[in-house]
Structure 1
Amino acid sequence: MRCPWPALRLAKAMRALPPGATARLLADDPAAPREVAALAAEHGWQVHDDGTGELLVNG
């Protein structure tokens, strides 16, 4: 999927998770880390990007 879809789906998943939960996002769109980081900053989530295309987001 191309951005912004990974970020939008992540936002939906994070709303369904309890506070403090972690979501794992696999994305191969080069824009995904930027989009997810911006979304996380808006919501106060923490993002860990290990550079493999897997992003861990803590809410």
Structure 2
Amino acid sequence: MFGDLTPAQSLLIVWVTGSLLAFIVSCLILWLIIRGAVLSALRKHAAEQRELGRDAGHRGPGDPRP
């Protein structure tokens, strides 16, 4: 099947395959970076909310206590 390819055809197949592989790897790396940033922001937000809950004495939004 691939035995009768010219060098130009072989180079084209290698170039397309390499480009596709590089694109997939770069998308995976980008996804990991974004996922890490989002998880970090969520952890920070959760910590801030816990701290606000301690400061407010764990009162709900409709609690009339001063």
The verdict on a shared fold, with TM-score over 0.5 as the criterion, is no
**Higher Cα Rg: structure 1 or 2?**
2
* Higher strand proportion (structure 1 or 2): 1
TM-score by length of 1: 0.28
Q: Which has the higher contact order (CA 8 A, sep 6+)?
A: 1
TM-score by length of 2: 0.26
